[in-house]
Amino acid sequence: MIKIENLHKYFHDFHVLKGVNLEIKRNEVVVLIGPSGSGKSTLLRCMNFLEMKDKGVLLIDDQLIDSDKKKLHKVRENIGMVFQHFNLFPHKTVLENVIEAPVHVKKMKKEDCIKIAHQLLEKVGLADKADVYPDKLSGGQKQRVAIARALAMKPEVMLFDEPTSALDPELVGEVLQVMKELANEGMTMIIVTHEMSFAREVADRVFFLDQGVIIEQGTPNELFDHPKHEKVQQFLRHVL
């Protein structure tokens, strides 16, 4: 469903991604791990064009996505994204956050959107918070609203950019739980995370990124228990 060939990205002189190749199939859950600064987040952000690739090929559903800025927002409608810092809209209630894009981007009927939004909030366990403003929520609740907001667009793939890194440790679990359920439902997911046990549990495949290239990939079993590359072994020794 997503295919990336020889992707390069520069920030001025800094060569962040140095030829990344990967292919992600429908319904697959893929986890990107690696040391900080390895380009995981940048790779993820290239997939929905929050960063523009400098070189390489990006195919979504076998369609070549070029950098035609006028079409990018159409592409993004099908790609949900969850951010490290939630980025909820503070001037809107939880419900308004969730219905904002379906109503104003997809031009769906407001009543229908509200119905869907209530179902989604139920799903992430926040049915009672619909009319609350985001500043009254805990970090874990905010992130679950952000997931509901992304799901409201009925995306075909969800990108998670370190969704639990900004959370207090005791709030990590509730967010991971929602993500697990989503994975079980067959959502295609690409996740950048430092939660190794979570990665091991939900991932179909794990990619290890180091200095802008994928140096090892495999099932969680292969990568966590029998890492081949020395850098991966070293990294896992530190985090596990």
Partner 1 sequence: MITLLYVKIFIYLENSLDTKRKVVVKIDKFINSFIQTFNGFVGATGMTLKLTIISLIMACFIGLIVALMKLSSNSFLNWLAVIYIGAIRGTPLILQIMWLYFGITHIIVLSAFWAGSIALAIHNGAYIAEIFRGAIQSIDKGQMEAAKSLGMTNSLAMRRIILPQALKRAIPALGNQFIIGLKDSSLVAFIGITEIFNLSMSEAAATFRQLEFYSIAGIYYLVLILIFTFIINKIEKKLDTGRR
105 binds partner 1 per the rule CB under 8 A: yes
Q: Using CA atoms, how far apart are residues 167 and 94, in angstroms rounded to an integer?
A: 19
The mark string for 138-167 relative to partner 1 (x by CB under 8 A, - otherwise) is --------x--xx--x--------------
Work out whether 89 is an interface residue with partner 1 (CB under 8 A). Answer: yes
Nearer to partner 1, 161 or 210 (CB): 161
* 55, 85, 110, 226: residue in contact with partner 1 (rule CB under 8 A): 85
Which residue is associated with the tokens 């029998």? 226
Asked if 2 and 15 count as a contact pair (C-beta separation under 8 A), the reply is: no
Of the pair 102, 220, the CB lying nearest partner 1 is at: 102
Q: Which strand (E) or helix (H) includes residue 157?
A: strand 157-161
Between 167 and 214, CB nearer to partner 1:
167
Q: How far is the CB of 72 from partner 1 (least distance, A)?
A: 8
8 A C-beta contact, residue 2 and residue 24? yes
**Among 22-30, 52-60, 104-112, 169-177, which window interacts with partner 1 (CB under 8 A)?**
104-112
Which span sits near partner 1 by CB under 8 A: 52-60, 74-82, 182-190, 223-231?
74-82
Strand-pairing partners, residue 160, are 82, 191
Among 62, 111, 135, 230, binds partner 1 (CB under 8 A): 135
Distances from the Cα of 90 to the Cαs of 19, 87, 93, 131, 143, in angstroms? 38, 8, 7, 12, 13
Give CA–CA dist 210/231, Å, rounded: 8
Query: Which one, 11 or 89, has the nearer CB to partner 1?
Result: 89
- Phi, psi of 190, rounded to the nearest 5 degrees: -125, 120
DSSP state of 65: -
**Residue closer to partner 1 (CB basis): 106 or 109:** 106
25 versus 104: smaller Cβ distance to partner 1: 104
Closest CA to 189 of 164, 161, 213: 161
Task: Give me the residues that bind partner 1 (CB under 8 A), please.
Answer: 48, 50, 73-74, 76-77, 79-81, 83, 85, 87-91, 100-101, 104-106, 135, 146, 149-150, 153
